[in-house]
Chains A and B, each alone.
Chain A
Amino acid sequence: MAVSRRRLLGVAAAAVGLGASGALGACSSVVGGLGAERDTGTLDFWNLFGGGDGVRMQQMLDGYRSAHPEVELAAVTLAWGNPYYTKLSLATVGDRPPEVAISHLTRMKNLVRADLLEELLPDDLARHGMSPDKFNRRAWEAGLVDGKAYAIPIDTHPFVMFYNTEICQQAGLLDADGKLKPFEGEAGFVDAMRRAKEVTGTFGGAVAFTSETATPWRMFQSFYAQLGGKMLAEDGTKVVIDDAKAARALEFMQGLTRDGLFPNPIDYQGSIAMFANGEIGFFFQGEWEITTFQTAKLPFSMTLFPNVFGGGSYAVQADSHTFVLPKQPHRDQARLDRSLTFVRSMLDQSRTWTEGGHVPLWLPFAESPEFARMSPQSEYASAADSAAYDEDGWYSGSGSNFEIITGSAIGDVLAGAATPQQAIAQMRGNLEQLAGTASPL
Chain B
Amino acid sequence: MSTQTSAQTDTDAHRGIAPTAPRASAGTLGHGRPAAGFLAPFVVLYLLFIIGPAVYGLILSFTNASLVKPGLNGFAGLGNYGEALGSAAFWSSLWHTLWFTILTTPPLVILGFLLALLANRVARGRWFFRLAFFAPYILPSAVVALIWMWLYTPALGLLDTALAKVGMTPPSWLGDAAWAMPSLAITTVWWTLGFNFVLYLAGLQEIPRDLYEAAAMDGAGPWQQIRSITIPMLGRTTTLVAVLQVIASLKVFDQMYLMTAGGPNFATRSILQLVYDEGFTNFRVGYAAAVSMLFFLVVLAVSAVWFTLVRRQEKVV
Contact = CB atoms under 8 A, between A and B. Distances in A.
B174 A211 contact: yes
Interface stretch (A161-169, A236-244, A360-368, A407-415): A407-415
B280 A270 contact: no
A210 B66 CA distance: 33
A437 B284 contact: yes
B161 interface: no
A440 B284 contact: yes
Contacts of A400: 281
B155 A211 contact: no
B66 A5 contact: no
Interface in B262-297: 262-266, 277, 280-285
Given A265-B172, A401-B277, A412-B265, A440 B67 contact: yes
B58 interface: no
Interface string B158-193: 000000000000001011110000000000000000
Task: Classify chain B: how many residues form its interface, as a range.
Answer: 35 or more
Interface residues of A, number: 48
Interface in B67-88: 67-73, 87-88
Contacts of A430: 89
A89 B264 contact: no
Nearest to A418: B265
Interface string A198-214: 00000000000011010
B156 interface: yes
Given A211-B174, A441-B66, A266 B284 contact: no
Most buried by A among B66, B88, B264, B280: B264
Nearest to B76: A438
A401 B89 CA distance: 13
A39 B263 CA distance: 45
B177 A417 contact: yes
A265 B154 contact: yes
B264 A211 contact: yes
Contacts of B284: 437, 440
A373 to B, nearest CB: 37
B70 A6 contact: yes
B266 A408 contact: yes
22 contacts: A2-B70, A2-B71, A6-B70, A82-B281, A93-B67, A93-B68, A210-B172, A213-B263, A265-B176, A270-B154, A270-B155, A394-B282, A395-B282, A401-B277, A404-B262, A412-B265, A415-B172, A417-B177, A440-B68, A440-B69, A440-B282, A440-B285
Given A211-B175, A412-B264, A415-B172, 9 more contacts: A1-B70, A3-B70, A83-B280, A211-B259, A213-B263, A265-B176, A270-B155, A274-B155, A441-B68
